[in-house]
Amino acid sequence: MRTSGLLTGLLLGAGAMYFLDPQQGRRRQKLIADQLNRLGHDVPEALDAAWRDLANRAQGTLADLRHLVETDDVTDDVLVQRVRSRIGRVLSHPAAVEVEVADGIVDLRGPVLAREVESLLCTVRGVRGVRSVIDELDVHDSPGTYSPLQGSGKGADRVAQQSWKPGTRLAAGAAGLSMMACGMRRRSVLAPLWALGGLALLARAATNQTLTRMLGTAEGGRSIELQKTMHIDAPVEEVFAFFADPTNLRRVSDVVTEVTMHGGGRFSKVMSIGGAQVRFEERFIETVPNELLRSRSEPGSAIQYDKEARFERDGGGTRLIMRFSYNPPGGVVAHAAASVLGFDPKTVLDDLLMRAKQYLETGKTPHDATAKGEQSAPPTGQRQVPSKRDA
């Protein structure tokens, strides 16, 4: 009991020091208030979507039960549409398969991957109104260089996302809470496992992410994806040149303390995050002048991430679309904790883009930028485009 009380006291003391800090305490309190306000808006909307999803599923189930006892006479054209809607769920390249129907008999032609054939045939046979299936598929063990099978495909994208519908998330969340309650009430060896399993299920429902993505161990993708779009009242050439030179970040940022160019599109930057100096290694992997900048983290970076900036002419200004995806150490849980404390990439990215917008539109360097000794650019319309280093 003494150890528990001591730990509780330490946590309360640390929290008080963090939120009552004379310099940053007020800002941190506002961030917490904003997060709670956002949560208050998001939760009712999510619950409403979940209830509507459950109602639609119930109606669909009743319709399926009716069709089990009713004769389903449909035209061949309708049956083609039914088959097409179903095969899109199991094929990575559904557009490559031709579907023809005559008197309820479905004829399938076209290229398909060998690993998808069995699922395809079972799915088509299960479509209401299908009497039989003729298999004339062109089976390939791998995509090779065959053009219809190139790319990831829409079906593969949907499978890869592994997202749950709102109704499923609500039911899973309720089950997770029930398991946690049972685990905490019971006094048995298995009680902690019940509670841990309930917590995992609740987290899966709340985040709509797989366990590997929640823990930041997923391969072939990033756990967290962010996007920010803004209009900058400056020519697209100037905006592109600014972001194409990473050293310009110190002109506007209060957290980027150091940027070093290494040539070949590679550079490193040091950021002050939560009082700690964190180093990131990055490399430009695609550059289309005045249109696109894509970069990716390098080995040795504190976290692994991908960035993309698209530049579009918007009247006399620029429409900037910034995308950022990353795998934080600790996954979605760590990202949520960082969001509450105001250290997450979204907060940093939003602040950085607003500062860049101000600089590009007015030519004035923020007073707390890390490169305080550098000269501000001349006013808009007279200032020079920031120099572009080797990228």
Q: Which residues contact 268 (CB under 8 A, 6 or more apart)?
A: 258, 259, 260, 262, 279, 280, 281, 282
Please give the share of the chain, as a percent, with pLDDT higher than 70: 63
Per-residue pLDDT, averaged over 338-362, amounts to: 78
| 278 lies in some domain | yes
Residues 357 and 240 in one domain: yes
42-57 per-position pLDDT tens digit:
667 767 776 776 776 6
Of the ranges 51-60, 80-89, 118-127, 188-197, which one carries the lowest mean pLDDT score? Answer: 51-60
| 188 lies in some domain | no
Per-residue pLDDT, averaged over 305-318, amounts to: 92
pTM for the whole structure? 0.50
Is 50 exceeded by the pLDDT of residue 379? no
Of the ranges 105-114, 218-227, 376-385, which one carries the lowest mean pLDDT score? Answer: 376-385
Instruction: Give the pLDDT band (50/70/90) at residue 169.
Output: confident
Distance CA 355, CA 364 (A): 10
What average pLDDT does the structure give for the chain? 76
Is 90 exceeded by the pLDDT of residue 245? yes
Residues 357 and 228 in one domain: yes
- Contact between 326 and 282 (Cβ < 8 Å): no
SS3 of residue 331 by DSSP: helix
**Max mean pLDDT range (6-10, 62-66, 124-128):** 124-128
Residues 231 and 354 in one domain: yes
Per-residue pLDDT, averaged over 261-288, amounts to: 89
Residues 137 and 230 in one domain: no
The total domain count for the chain is 2
Nearest-10 Cα torsion for 368, 374, 375, 378? -70
Residues 157 and 261 in one domain: no
Residues 128 and 244 in one domain: no
Distance CA 215, CA 204 (A): 11
Residues 262 and 341 in one domain: yes
Identify which of 153, 321, 354, 106 has the alpha carbon closest to the alpha carbon of residue 254: 354
**Residue range of the domain that includes 315:** 224-362
| 219 lies in some domain | no
Last residue of a domain, one of 139, 161, 183: 161
**Max mean pLDDT range (26-30, 32-36, 69-73, 101-105):** 101-105
CATH of the domain at 229: 3.30.530.20
Last residue of a domain, one of 113, 133, 161: 161
- Contact between 158 and 89 (Cβ < 8 Å): yes
| 237 lies in some domain | yes
Is 80 exceeded by the pLDDT of residue 346? no
18-36 per-position pLDDT tens digit:
556 665 566 656 666 666 6
| 174 lies in some domain | no
The confidence score (pLDDT) of residue 13 equals 62
| 205 lies in some domain | no
Distance CA 158, CA 152 (A): 10
The confidence score (pLDDT) of residue 53 equals 67
| 252 lies in some domain | yes
| 88 lies in some domain | yes
CATH of the domain at 113: 3.30.1340.30
